[in-house]
Amino acid sequence: SSFTSALLSMSQDSQHGKWTVSDSDDDDEALPSSGTPAVSNPSSQYETSPSLAGKRKKEVSDGSGWALSDSDDDDDGDVKRKSVSNLPKKAPPSPKAKKVKVEDERPPSPHGRLYYIDEPEDFFESSVPRLNDTFRFYLNKVTGLDRKYNTGALHIKDILSPLFGTLKESVQFNYCFDIAWMVQQYPSEFRDRPVLIVHGDKREAKARLVKQAQPFPHVRFCQVQISQNTDIWKMMLLWYEEGFRVIILTSNLIRADWYQKTQGMWMSPLFPRLPEGSSASAGESPTFFKRDLLEYLASYRAPELEPWIQQIKEHDLSETRVYLVGSTPGRYVGPDMERWGHLRLRKLLYDHTDPIPGEEKWPVIGQFSSIGSMGLDKTKWLAGEFQRTMTTLGRSSHRSNPPMHLLYPSVDDVRTSLEGYPAGGSLPYSIQTAQKQLWLHSYFHRWKANTTGRSHAMPHIKTYMRASPDFSQLAWFLVTSANLSKAAWGALEKNNTQVMVRSYELGVLFVPSAFTFPVHKNPFLASSSSAGFPVPFDLPPTCYSAKDQPWIWNIPYSQAPDTHGNIWVPS
C-alpha cells in the first residue's frame, strides 16, 4: 500500500544506539508452543470474505465491549468495530432461551463466546501467594503460559479472594464492563456484597450497562460526567472487615482483558482503621498518597463516592510508598497546572529524584497500547514538553537529550500472539493518525517479553521509565492507564501558561527515595531478582527492523494468517 511504502526506515543507529540482541530474542516468528486456544471453525479457509461485523445489528457496534478500547486520537472519531474474517458463523440463541436479547448485550470479546479455554484448577491461588511486597507491582496471569511465568502474578479472582481480606463492599472504577462476568469473579461467599460501578457511559451505552446488571440487585451505579471517547480511571476500592485496600490497574472488567494480554497493577497494603479520635492529618504516607487519593476522588464530584471518601479518611495509609499520578479533564492554570498529567509527573521527578552523572545517556522508555495525534513533527509535543518531563531528574539545570525508546507492537507481534489478530482490537492506532506522523515510527521498538514469558501476550499495560545506559538500573518507574497521547498526558497552551487535559488517567510512580532497601537513594536495579524492579518486558528494547510496521487497527491484514488461521478485515 502507499502507506507501507511511505513508512520511514526503522534502522536509525544514531538515534537508538547499537546493541547485540541475545539468541533468545531471535524467535519472534515462532508461534506459541502451548496454550493456543483452538479455533472453533473446522473450515478455517484463508480468505478475504467480508467482515461479519457489518451484518450484525447496529446497536452492537455502537458500544460493544472490546471495541471500546479507548482510542487516544484527538481527531479521529470514526474508528469502527473490527472483525476477524472467519469467526464461527453461529446463529444467536433465541430470545426465549435468554432473558436479554443478544443484540442488547455487550460482547465480552472480539473472539466470540466459544473462543476461551478454561483455566486449569491450579491456575488460581489456594493459599496466600508469595508476592514481591517491596514494590507491590504485579502482572496479570496469562492463560496458556508455563506455570512458572504466572508465579507471583494475579488474576482478578485472586485479588477478590478471601486470601486478601473479608470483603464487605467494593467500588469498581472502569471503562468497559461485562457485569455477569465481573460478578462471577467474586468468591461465592462475597458475591452478594454491595458493588458500586463508577462509569462514564451515556444514553444507549448506559442503558445497556444497567440492563446487564438487572439480575444483580447488589450492583449499583455511579455515572461520572466525562467527554466523549474519554477513558476513566481503572481502580478498585475494597473495604474489608479488617481494613481497606486500593488496586490501580490497567485491565477493563471483561474476560478478554484478563485472558491473554499483558496487564499490570499496583496493589496497596491492607490499610488498617485509625483509632477513634485521630486527627484529620493522621494516616498520611511519606508520599502524600492519602491526600492525593482523596483529592482525585473529590474531582469526580459524585455524591455516591462521599461515603468512600469518609471511609478512606478513617484509615491509616501511612505504609504507602508510591506517588499517585493522575489526569482529570480540564484546563488548568497557575499552581493547578502541576496537579495533573505530565506536569504532575515532572513536579514529582523534580522533587523526589536526584541528578545522575552522565544522565544524557540514560534513555527514556515509554510503552503503551494506543497512540494519539502528536503533531507534524517531534518538536510539537513529544520532543518538547513531554520529553522535558520524562528527562527531569531532581533539581538539575542540565537539559539532557537522551535516547527515547517507544515500545509498541508491530504487525508481526500481533499476528503471532496468543490471541492472533483480535489482540489488535485493543491496540487502536488508526491509519488516519499514523499517516500524519510518520516521523514517530523511527522511535518504535518491538514488544518482546521473554523474561516474563509474555512475548506473545500483547500489552494493554502502559509503563514509562528512565533506564541506565546498560539497562541494569532504573531512575524511576511508572505504571499507568495513560497511553502516548496529549489527551492523556495534557498539552501546554497559551504560551505555556495553561495546560489542557482531556481524559481521566491514573497511575503510580516508584522512585528509589521512597523505598528503604539496599539501593536507597540510588536507582532501582532493573532485574527479576528480589531486590530488582520487575520490568514486564525485555531490556534493552529491540528496535523495529526495516520490514517492521506498527500495528494499525483499521486497515486489513490478509497476506498472512495469524496463530488461529484468521486474517484481519476491518468493517
Cα–Cα distance for residue pair 284/541, rounded to 1 Å:
38
The number of angstroms, rounded, from the C-alpha of 516 to the middle of its chain's C-alpha atoms is: 28
Q: What are 522-535's pLDDT values in tens digits? A: 456 665 455 688 89
Cα–Cα distance for residue pair 460/270, rounded to 1 Å:
26
Tell me how many degrees the CA angle 370-373-376 measures, rounded to the nearest 5.
140
- Binding residue per annotation — 234? yes
Verify whether residue 456 is a known catalytic residue: no
Q: Enumerate residues 6+ apart whose C-beta is below 8 A from 414.
A: 420, 421, 423, 424, 427, 458, 551, 562
> How many Cα atoms within 13 Å fall on the side-chain side of residue 501?
27
What secondary structure letter does DSSP report for 328? -
Q: What are 432-445's pLDDT values in tens digits? A: 999 999 999 999 99
> How many Cα atoms within 13 Å fall on the side-chain side of residue 190?
25
Sign of CA dihedral 429, 252, 56, 83: positive
What secondary structure letter does DSSP report for 85? T
* Residues lower than pLDDT 70 in the chain: 1-114, 126-132, 226-231, 397, 516-531
The domain locations on the chain are 121-543
Given 16, 111, 155, 460, the catalytic residue: 460
What secondary structure letter does DSSP report for 337? G
- Three-state DSSP class for 367? strand
3-state secondary structure 385-444: HHHHHHCCCCCCCCCCCCCEEEECCEHHHHHCCCCCHHHHHHCCCCHHHHHHCHHHHHHE
Look at domain 121-543 and name its CATH class.
alpha beta
Q: What are 401-422's pLDDT values in tens digits? A: 999 999 999 999 999 999 999 9
Distances (CA, A) of 49 to 39, 80, 83, 86, 551: 17, 18, 11, 8, 21
| Beta-sheet pairing, 444-445 with 404-407 | parallel
Instruction: Output the pLDDT for position 232.
Output: 77
- Binding residue per annotation — 58? no
